[in-house]
Amino acid sequence: MKQLIRALLAVLIVSFVLIFIVFRLNSSQGYTSGNTLTIFNWGDYIDEELIKQFEDETGIKVIYETFDSNEAMLTKIEQGGTAYDIAVPSEYIIDKMIQEDLLLPIDHSKLPNFQYLDSRFLDLPFDHGNKYSIPYFWGTVGILYNTKILGDRELTSWNDLWDPAFKNQILLVDSAREVLGMSLNSLGYSLNDKNKDHLQEAKEKIDALTPNIKAIVGDENRLLLQNEEAAIGLVWSGTAQEIMWENENVEYVIPKEGSNLWFDNMVIPKTAKNVEAAHQFINFMLDPEVAAQNTDYVGYSTPNKEALKYMDEEVVNDERFYPDEEMTSKLEVYENLGKRMLAHYNDLFLEFKMHTK
Amino acid sequence: MKSKSRNFYLIPYVIWIALFVVMPILLVLYYSFFDIDGQLTFDNYKKFFTPVYLKMTFSSFWYAFLITMFTLLVAYPISYLLTKTKHKQLLLLLIILPSWINLLLKAYAFIGIFGTYGAANSFLEVIGIGTKQILFTDFSFIFVSVYIFLPFMILPIFNALDELNPSLVDASNDLGASKWITFKRVIFPLTIDGVKSGCQIVFIPALSLFMLTRLIAGNRVITLGTAIEQHFLVTQDWGMGATIAVFLIIAMVLIMILTGKRKRGIL
Amino acid sequence: MKKLSKLSTVYLIIMFFILYAPILYLMFYSFNSGGTMYHFEGFTLDWYKELFGDSRLLIIVLNTAIIALLSAAISTILGVAGALAIYYARRRRVKNTLLSLNNVLIVSPDVIIGASFLILFTMVGIKLGFISVLLAHIAFSVPIVVIMVLPKIEEMNTSMIYAALDLGASRWDVLTKVVLPYITPGIFAGFFMALTYSLDDFAVTFFVTGNGFTTLSVEIYSLARRGVSLNINALSTLLFIFTMLLVVGYYFITKRNNKPGRMGVR
């Protein structure tokens, strides 16, 4: 019994000492002061120097929280409980958030730096007139392949993936719209196709890809492709860029049939407490020099036209990550398909995954 | 006499059950009757009995069974040998310690170790077997799952073995029983409670395993847990996710009844 | 006590090697100048230097430790009460019902627990942050403690209790002088398993956290999209060595203080 009491006391004492230390740390950092801005973003998706710079310039203290998937983030914002001043969801979620009335309209008069954005990435179907969202980063979906393993074989089309030579060489991403989308694209259909026959055809086509598939993975595809665990991967351009920094044998291509164009945009949730600071922060991130620095750090493609001037020419002229007008015209943004259709996509994907086994 | 003390212990526990168990169960049940558009329906339950989900249920049980069996086979000897060592408590703690490192990091390490150019394949190369695909196979999935669950199995078995009166074993030996007979007739029956609770702690969560199915098995293994995860987070079809959860809870209750003690030692 | 045979020793050593292999792997690459968990390029301490400048990460680590310790301690107390409640339940049906309810949280996938706790907390009006995370961790750690403690209680000899009662011991005396000492190993096992659950949990914490409060798991998972950087490896290495020293040191100190007699799982 003595033993138990001693152990319990030890645990309690240690906990309270730790709580005290955390409290001191928090107050020395100024987190307890009144003027704060709470940001909800993907992990490691901003150059933290910029947060410091913003804090120094405005005197606003930034609280930075992170999420690992759009849907998980949406659930948290829907439920309330925490007041996030800024969140950075992807475009298909923004559509949903607008419909469910979760966002505050953005006051463009407070964003003088809005003018620097490339008009190609504004006024898109998911948010006409950018009433609720401001682009943060954008990118594409494409094929990453390893020239060391595949030799001089060049991939240009989605249909190349079905080549029997690539047995057990392909890593797919664990995401229904990307995988079905690749099949839809290869058949010449739209990424937003709602025709069930077309979808069935697309599903049967990916079933036929089964022998070539090594695994269906998540974010760890970066690790696997970098280490040449598989020769080919279906990836987002951001992931591709990061893999290319670490492994010089890989090549990224946006297939000629077209592909998906995605966005991560800044939004202000309805529950925001410091709307003024949120606008200040968005405007700050749109500053060309700031955007350039952030892009250098994150490595995804920036929608800020003016920022390109402050960046490495080699990066800016890289057509794989900053495709020309003709290529961009073939890219499609995901539309909100509606719950039923999305569920149908996911059911087909689940059936496909069961088929793989 | 007994009833007074029973009520006393029940109070905090029942409050916990009411708040954190009954509430979620009711929520899950409630959601399971709504389809994706928020209409009251039984469709989710009908859908569960389609081949896709039945196959998934079957494979979940099969893998959970395999994982539990291998965990037990590995854990029992470890627990037994641990009780014979000098610093057994310390060694036991050292077995738990690795489970305090983040699961995602450990999974990444396993991806590295089991990869084509990883340590495991280098080893196979050296002993002359040659490089094999280890990652994304049933083997790697079960291996890593057993790795994760091992401490949960060892602890109860260790505690049971540690309590075992050594004179019983000595007596059995003195009476001329072979080691195997002693184990089968004396040691194992006396530690069966530890084994049971170990199996429960492993089998039940193994049914709803999800992260490893993607990280280590590359989605070649699809369990009910994976499906729930997807319905809750990707499709946001909470109804279907909740329906699968209802079946998981039913399965758990059945397992508890089947493995529960037939007769009670007390009262 | 007989010494272990050679074969047994080899078996134990191999098992310990396998248990520690992934951790050694993580530690090894925390010194990699190459920036990834593959292809060791050269030795560097940069990741450690980066770590010490990061006060945000330090706060997160401390938060994680506080939550783990407090939730494990409280859920152990609750769990022991629960195990006793199940033990003292007279009818088998009550016992089985309690036990089944107990295990619901073990079988429910984390997302469901997380989402329903989130709904519960927002309904009741608990502010998301430290308190909500602590409550959630206590909630999902209780069942594991019950499962760890219950077998220990059930194998207890009932005549001990009656003997104590006959000798005039009060109910409280029976609990503190007879029952608790007997089940101490089970209690410690439950505590350590609760600690494990708390440290490992990502999904539940993610849903019920807020207002700038984050734990290490949530932070690590959210890094996955952009790749987990090696300073997390460095952090894990330091934490691991620290806990290891703590555990071993504590063991030998208590060992020296009460030489004879057996200890709980410590």
b/e sequence A18-54, b meaning 16+ C-beta within 10 Å: beeebeeeeeeeebeeeebbbbbbbbbbbbeebbeeb
Same domain assignment for residues A22 and A145:
no
Print the domain residue range for A4. Answer: 1-29
Going residue by residue through chain B (267 aa), what tens digit of pLDDT does each one get?
Answer: 444 444 577 888 888 898 889 988 898 899 999 988 888 889 999 999 999 899 999 999 999 999 999 999 999 999 999 998 888 889 998 998 998 888 888 998 999 899 888 888 888 989 988 888 898 999 999 999 999 999 999 988 998 898 888 888 888 888 888 888 888 888 888 888 889 888 988 998 888 887 888 889 888 888 888 888 888 877 788 899 899 989 988 888 888 777 765 444 332
CA distance A175 to chain C (A): 14
Total tally of structural domains belonging to chain B: 1
Does C145 reside within a domain?
Answer: yes
Total tally of structural domains belonging to chain C: 1
Same domain assignment for residues A81 and A121:
yes
- Determine, for residues C38 and A227 on separate chains, whether the beta-carbon distance falls below 8 Å: yes
Paired with A137 in beta bridges are A264
pLDDT at C22 over 60: yes
Render pLDDT for A280-300 as a digit per residue (tens, 0 to 9). 999 999 999 999 999 988 888
Neighbors of chain B with 3 or more C-beta pairs under 8 Å? A, C
- Determine, for residues B218 and A214 on separate chains, whether the beta-carbon distance falls below 8 Å: yes
Same domain assignment for residues A64 and A99:
yes
Render pLDDT for A220-235 as a digit per residue (tens, 0 to 9). 888 899 889 999 999 9
3-class secondary structure, A96: helix
For residue C222, which residues of chain A lie inside 8 Å, CB to CB? 42-44, 66-68
Print the domain residue range for B184. Answer: 59-234
Say if residue A92 carries a ligand binding annotation. Answer: yes
Q: What is the ipTM of this complex?
A: 0.86
For residue C101, which residues of chain B lie inside 8 Å, CB to CB? 17, 21-22
CA distances C219 to A17, A67, A258, Å, are 23, 8, 35
Least confident among A83-87, B56-60, C49-53: C49-53
Whole-structure pTM value? 0.88
Q: What is the CATH number of the domain that holds B227?
A: 1.10.3720.10
Q: In terms of C-beta density within 10 A (0-12 exposed, 13-18 middle, 19 or more buried), how is residue B132 classed?
A: middle
Same domain assignment for residues A93 and A205:
no
The more confident residue out of C154 and B48 is: B48
Same domain assignment for residues A82 and A10:
no
Same domain assignment for residues A152 and A210:
yes
Secondary structure of B113-180 in HEC code, one letter for each residue: HHCCCCHHHHHHHHCCCCCCCCCCCHHHHHHHHHHHHHHHHHHHHHHHHHHCCHHHHHHHHHCCCCHH
Does C201 reside within a domain?
Answer: yes
Render pLDDT for B214-236 as a digit per residue (tens, 0 to 9). 889 888 888 888 888 888 877 78
Q: What is the CATH number of the domain that holds C146?
A: 1.10.3720.10
Does C215 reside within a domain?
Answer: yes
Question: Hey, what are A223's tokens?
Answer: 């690790």
Nearest to residue C171, comparing CAs of A313, B3, A82?
A: B3
Total tally of structural domains belonging to chain A: 3
- Determine, for residues B94 and C192 on separate chains, whether the beta-carbon distance falls below 8 Å: no
Same domain assignment for residues A161 and A205:
yes
Does C137 reside within a domain?
Answer: yes
Mutate to test the interface with C, among A16, A22, A69, A244 (most CBs of C within 10 A): A22
Nearest chain B Cα to C224, which residue?
B104
What is the interface size between A and C, counted as CB pairs within 8 Å?
Answer: 125
Same domain assignment for residues A116 and A176:
no
Question: Hey, what are C49's tokens?
Answer: 């230097």
For residue B221, which residues of chain A lie inside 8 Å, CB to CB? 357
**Residue pair A72/A87 in contact by the 8 Å Cβ criterion:** no
| Alpha helix stretches (DSSP H) within chain A | 2-28, 48-58, 70-79, 91-99, 147-150, 176-186, 196-207, 221-226, 237-246, 275-286, 288-298, 313-316, 325-330, 339-356
pLDDT at A161 over 90: yes
Same domain assignment for residues A212 and A347:
yes
**What is the spatial distance between Cα A300 and Cα A316, in angstroms, rounded to a whole number?**
11
Q: What is the pLDDT of residue A2?
A: 78
Same domain assignment for residues A180 and A206:
yes
Print the domain residue range for C246. Answer: 54-257
| Closest Cβ opposite residue A342 in set B111, B112, B235 | B235
Does B69 reside within a domain?
Answer: yes
CA distances B184 to A188, B1, C224, Å, are 66, 39, 48
In which band, very low, low, confident or very high, does the pLDDT at A24 lie, cut at 50, 70 and 90?
A: confident
- Determine, for residues B201 and C96 on separate chains, whether the beta-carbon distance falls below 8 Å: no
Neighbors of chain A with 3 or more C-beta pairs under 8 Å? B, C
Same domain assignment for residues A128 and A269:
yes
Render pLDDT for C213-265 as a digit per residue (tens, 0 to 9). 889 988 888 887 777 888 889 999 999 999 899 888 878 877 776 544 444 44
Angle at the Cα of B39 from the Cα atoms of B36 and B40, rounded to 5 degrees? 120
Nearest to residue A94, comparing CAs of A138, A63, A47, A50?
A: A138
Same domain assignment for residues A86 and A207:
no
Q: What is the CATH number of the domain that holds A195?
A: 3.40.190.10
Does B255 reside within a domain?
Answer: no
